Amino acid sequence: MRRLVAGLLAALVLTSCAAPELSQNGPAERVKKTQTKKASPQQPDATASVRRLAKGPVSNGWRVSRIVDGDTVDVRRGRRTLTLRLIGIDTPETVHPTEPVECFGPEATQFAQRRLLGEPAALEFDRSQGRLDYYGRTLAYLWTTEGSPRQFNLDAVRRGYALEYTYDSPYLWQREFQRAEALARSARLGVWRCTRPGS
């Protein structure tokens, strides 16, 4: 019996002596390695990316709260709401009080709803166009800022949901919009399948 107890005590002593050696390769060592591992670089902030991509002044922190039609939307920041008339585009009518619903108008509105409603956004302004239109709507390019920033105005023209529209004077993105429209027209995308696009 004494030999059994002595054997157990010897085993315990050997185990306790080995424990510090194990702990060096155990959790303590893993914590140390984790602490010395470099943090992965953060993704650039989408609104900072909009500032780099934009050609005009930018206002951040908005969210699209309502779609009027394909080229007119409401955005909200805090308690403030703006109605935007999107620069450089014209979509077929769907809500004009004296005009009929035009070819591809409902599809253009649905495209805006799918892409914009509820989305965080940044507004880009264009000094060449002024800040407000005749009806008091804010004139802007609308950038979505969830993930990689995208300019909705240009996307709408590129995909055939809008026609390029120069109101009175050239605007900052006019060349890009005109190129996008030429490509959409040649591919007969969206509104370019209509007999009389934009009417």
Catalytic residues: 85, 93, 137
Does residue 92 contact residue 103 with C-beta atoms inside 8 Å?
yes
CA distance 178 to 69: 21
Picking from 86, 95, 45, the residue whose alpha carbon sits closest to that of residue 64 is 86
Please give the Cα distance from 2 to 138 (Å, whole number).
Answer: 94
- The full length of the chain comes to 199
Q: Strand locations in 70-137, DSSP E? A: 72-77, 80-86, 89-90, 120-124
Strand 72-77 vs strand 80-86: parallel, antiparallel, or unpaired? Answer: antiparallel
Please report which helix (H) or strand (E) contains residue 183, including its range: helix 174-186
A 10 A CB-CB count for 104 gives 24
